[in-house]
Amino acid sequence: MPFSTLGLSPDLVHAAGELGFSTPTPVQAQAIPVILRGADLLASAQTGSGKTGAFGLPLLQRLQQGQSHTPRRVRALVLVPTRELAAQVGEVLRSLGSHLPQRPKVAVVFGGVSINPQMMGLRGGADVVVATPGRLLDLLEQNALKLSFVETLVLDEADRLLDLGFADELQRLLALLPAQRQNLFFSATFPPEVQALAATLLRDPVRVEVAATAANEPAILQRVIEVDPDKRTQLLRHLLKESGWDRALVFVATKYAAEHVAWKLHQSGVFATPFHGDMSQGKRTQVLAEFKNEQWDVVVTTDLAARGIDIAQLPVVVNYDLPRSAVDYVHRIGRTGRAGESGLAVSFVSGDTEAHWRLIEKRQGLSLPREQVPGFEPAQVAAPAGPGTGGIKGKRPSKKDKLRAAAAASQPADTPKSR
């Protein structure tokens, strides 16, 4: 099915082709006609499925109608959870719009950088604003833009928006939008809190759910390698050399680990650099640009890079530390095997983390063989399977739970409990 059959203009079909969109992905084929006719949409599809194109193409076509206001009015608002995703969505929209007779003005705004250049960029208005919620509220307080003419609202990665604690900011922004507008929710998962928000905002939405199938599942080979924790860096160096990976995105659990592992790799001659939330926005943008240009062999990152990062032809993702949740595992490995390319995802598992890995397997419907690399055979023995969650996010006892349990354990047996 070509894009021309979906109701898009010849200019946008050409623009899609210039960006390498040869045929629509399943989510694009289902979502684009719905958006073009103005209906609300609730779309769920796995990471790397082309969601940005699914809302970007019809959004731009609708903007071409009546685009004669001076100064420009913000007619489309795209809310995203992270700076990196904001920059990526803005880049796609600008690239698509550059091939149109009336090029739309796309403003991208996010925190972590000076607000002044963004305020200057909004002078004269904008047709589309791609924003993180906090910075958008800052700009509204400065009267740098108005939302009273917004016709289309897009929540991209809606689950992540709420997961990162943007619920209050979202409610403040929604109160500033016109009541009559088109609402589009896009996400890889729809937990209960997102479904509750959708129920209050969407009017008779069309639901698009693109389940992973053999036809649309990314071609990602998944491997599990058993290794002791203190041998992971050595094993990673060995795999980089022996497997000939020209680039690798390595996920760790903490910002400190990102710095430490990158430093150890760099000391051994691997061009590695960290990437995490404590870095300035300028540095983060620089690292991503250099990684895309193949100036780094390895980027060691936290889950900051698990979503909204599109690196063409990234050959491998390594879970140096396992993700806390099964959903995060899907998003991590989704950084490879994108746009029809094949990819590889390697997870390091030790005796201490075997139970946690088994739960990730269970929740993702996986059953992967355990491998051992000669010279790196583990000495640790995995604990036998038993009750418990193994640390899956959202199921481990909270700090308050632990404090209550400790207090209860320290209380003498004959001491009556207070009411």
pLDDT digits (tens, 9 = 90+) for 329-343: 988 998 888 766 788
* Same-domain check for residues 36 and 129: yes
| pLDDT tens figures, 96-134 | 988 888 889 999 999 888 999 999 999 989 999 999 999
Q: What is the mean pLDDT of residues 349-361?
A: 94
Higher pLDDT, 21 or 43: 43
| pLDDT tens figures, 146-197 | 999 999 999 998 887 877 678 889 999 999 999 999 999 998 777 788 888 8
pLDDT band at 224 (very low <50, low <70, confident <90, very high): very high
Q: What is the mean pLDDT of residues 398-406?
A: 51
Higher pLDDT, 315 or 18: 315
Flag whether pLDDT at 360 surpasses 60: yes
Higher pLDDT, 204 or 210: 204
Task: Answer yes or no: is 360 within a domain.
Answer: yes
Task: Answer yes or no: is 38 within a domain.
Answer: yes
Number of domains forming the structure of the chain:
2
Query: What is the reported pLDDT for 373?
Result: 95
Range of the domain at 58: 3-210
Q: What is the mean pLDDT of residues 352-366?
A: 92
* Same-domain check for residues 184 and 44: yes
Tokens standing for residue 298:
């390895």
* Same-domain check for residues 187 and 262: no
| Among the listed residues 281, 280, 333, the one whose alpha carbon sits nearest the alpha carbon of residue 303 | 333
Contact 51, 27 (CB under 8 A): yes
* Same-domain check for residues 260 and 287: yes
Flag whether pLDDT at 138 surpasses 60: yes
Query: What is the reported pLDDT for 395?
Result: 47
* Same-domain check for residues 159 and 16: yes
| Among the listed residues 328, 374, 298, the one whose alpha carbon sits nearest the alpha carbon of residue 163 | 328
Flag whether pLDDT at 321 surpasses 60: yes
Task: Answer yes or no: is 302 within a domain.
Answer: yes
Query: What is the reported pLDDT for 229?
Result: 95
Task: Answer yes or no: is 392 within a domain.
Answer: no
* Same-domain check for residues 156 and 300: no
Task: Answer yes or no: is 286 within a domain.
Answer: yes
* Same-domain check for residues 21 and 154: yes
In CATH, what number is assigned to the domain containing residue 117? 3.40.50.300
**Sign of the CA dihedral running 85, 327, 189, 96:** positive
Peptide bond into 101 cis (omega under 30): no
Task: Answer yes or no: is 147 within a domain.
Answer: yes
pLDDT band at 68 (very low <50, low <70, confident <90, very high): low
* Same-domain check for residues 278 and 205: no
Task: Answer yes or no: is 356 within a domain.
Answer: yes
Q: How far is CA 378 from CA 227, 317, 374, 393, 397, in A?
A: 5, 22, 10, 26, 29
pLDDT band at 325 (very low <50, low <70, confident <90, very high): confident
| pLDDT tens figures, 115-125 | 999 999 999 89
Please tell me the least confidently modeled range out of 53-57, 236-240, 381-385, 402-406: 402-406
* Same-domain check for residues 187 and 238: no
* Same-domain check for residues 192 and 337: no
pLDDT band at 54 (very low <50, low <70, confident <90, very high): very high
* Same-domain check for residues 260 and 306: yes
B/e letters for 346-379, b = 16+ CB within 10 Å, e = fewer, are bbbbbeebbbbbbbbbeeeeeeeeeeeeeebebe
Residue ending a domain, choose from 141, 176, 210: 210
Task: Answer yes or no: is 412 within a domain.
Answer: no
* Same-domain check for residues 78 and 169: yes
